[in-house]
């Protein structure tokens, strides 16, 4: 079986290699990989900056944004050959901590969770993979060409759940959301915002290419001005931050309407310093009962929400988020970001 592997923490080690076909453990599904989404985390791992190989070996099969078709499934697993599925990324820590023990492994407290394609478990970047039925999610067959967007959609589903839960502290009837960043996370966050009936604004640097069009087709408003200027004009009740860019992160923290909620989803590079007025930001957050919350990963509940959201969305709009499909053998192209990309996908079949 062909697989995309990398030696974590060593730059330039990504390669397609022949590995033995995986043999499902008792109860597991055997899945034919159809596609693999590539994100910033995969590029970080390939650049040698992140990632952990499974214990006892040096290479890791890359990939956590999966899509596959079940080749074989044990009786009683709830799955059958031909089903369209994605595999969940994270597994609970072995202790387990209180959160993992309750299925909230996305909120793991001791950091000993594992993640397919990222942390100590082989990923989904291969022609065949296996998965436990309890960590496989069935997709609507109409999502065959776009179901690879599931994993980023789960991250977004969790982010929206955080917003709801923080909002539930007091009276909360939000009207306007600003999403910063029109990559896959930002656009999917905008989609879920529209599905909730909110007035949606999206901010990104791009002035041309597929991003402004994708936003307008959702019925949302696209902005390419500075974050401070846009927040002043829009006065959003909610901001979903998906750029991870330090200045944008800081500007949006101070840019909500009263009782504003900022949900941070982007992982910033460290070491880039900017000068900011922390006192002013603190004052605003305190005096307006604002909240800034971080959100990463997703549990099974978020996978279910994301599967529903994608099934409800227009498949043509979703397919426009996939701006490049690259065969596995040409993985280096997929690992190289292009400014006009939204989502780049490796095809595995």
Chain contacts with ligand BGC (rule: CB under 6 A):
39, 41, 64, 89-90, 115, 118, 151, 155, 296-297
Label the pairing between strands 238-241 and 176-180. Answer: parallel
> Is there a cis peptide before residue 96, judged by omega within 30 degrees of 0?
yes
Nearest-angstrom CA–CA distance, 6 and 43: 11
Contact 132, 302 (CB under 8 A): no
Cβ distance to ligand BGC smaller for residue 153 or 318: 153
Cβ distance to ligand BGC smaller for residue 118 or 131: 118
The least CB distance from residue 153 to ligand BGC, in Å, is: 11
Label the pairing between strands 29-38 and 65-72. Answer: antiparallel
The least CB distance from residue 267 to ligand BGC, in Å, is: 7
Cβ distance to ligand BGC smaller for residue 82 or 294: 294
Nearest-angstrom CA–CA distance, 114 and 77: 23
The least CB distance from residue 60 to ligand BGC, in Å, is: 12
Cβ distance to ligand BGC smaller for residue 44 or 140: 44
Nearest-angstrom CA–CA distance, 129 and 31: 5
If one counts every other C-beta atom within 10 angstroms of the C-beta of residue 16, the result is: 18
The least CB distance from residue 277 to ligand BGC, in Å, is: 31
**φ and ψ of 235, to 5 deg:** 45, 60
The least CB distance from residue 167 to ligand BGC, in Å, is: 24
Nearest-angstrom CA–CA distance, 335 and 7: 15
Cβ distance to ligand BGC smaller for residue 64 or 343: 64
Cβ distance to ligand BGC smaller for residue 155 or 227: 155
Nearest-angstrom CA–CA distance, 167 and 107: 19
The least CB distance from residue 74 to ligand BGC, in Å, is: 27
């Amino acid at each position: 079986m062909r697989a995309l592997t990398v030696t974590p923490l060593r730059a330039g080690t990504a390669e397609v290699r022949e590995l033995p076909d995986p043999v499902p453990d008792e109860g597991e599904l055997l899945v034919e990989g159809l596609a693999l989404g590539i994100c910033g985390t995969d590029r970080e791992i390939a650049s040698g900056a992140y990632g952990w190989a499974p214990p006892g070996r040096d290479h890791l099969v890359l990939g956590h944004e999966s899509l596959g078709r079940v080749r074989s499934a044990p009786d009683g697993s709830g799955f059958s050959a031909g089903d369209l599925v994605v595999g969940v990324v994270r597994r609970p820590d072995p202790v387990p901590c209180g959160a993992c023990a309750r299925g909230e492994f996305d909120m793991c407290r001791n950091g000993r969770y594992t993640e397919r394609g990222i942390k100590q478990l082989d990923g989904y970047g291969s022609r065949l993979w296996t998965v436990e039925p309890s960590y496989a999610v069935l997709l609507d067959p109409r999502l065959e060409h776009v179901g690879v967007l599931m994993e980023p959609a789960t991250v977004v589903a969790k982010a929206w759940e955080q917003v709801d839960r923080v909002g539930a502290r007091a009276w909360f009837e939000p009207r306007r959301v600003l999403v910063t960043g029109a990559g896959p996370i930002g656009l999917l966050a905008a989609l879920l915002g529209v599905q909730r009936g909110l007035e949606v604004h999206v901010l990104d640097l791009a002035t041309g290419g597929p991003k402004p069009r994708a936003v307008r087709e959702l019925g949302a408003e696209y902005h390419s001005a500075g974050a401070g200027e846009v927040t002043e004009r829009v006065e959003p009740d909610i901001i979903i931050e998906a750029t991870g860019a330090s200045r944008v992160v800081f500007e949006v923290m101070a840019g909500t309407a009263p009782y504003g909620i900022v949900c941070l989803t982007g992982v910033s590079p460290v070491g880039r310093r900017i000068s900011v007025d922390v006192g002013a930001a603190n004052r605003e957050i305190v005096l307006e009962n604002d909240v800034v919350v971080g959100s990463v990963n997703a549990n099974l509940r978020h996978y279910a929400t994301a599967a529903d959201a994608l099934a409800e969305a227009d498949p043509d709009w979703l397919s426009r988020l996939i701006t490049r499909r690259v065969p596995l053998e040409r993985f280096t192209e997929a690992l190289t970001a292009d400014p006009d990309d939204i989502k780049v996908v490796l095809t595995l079949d």
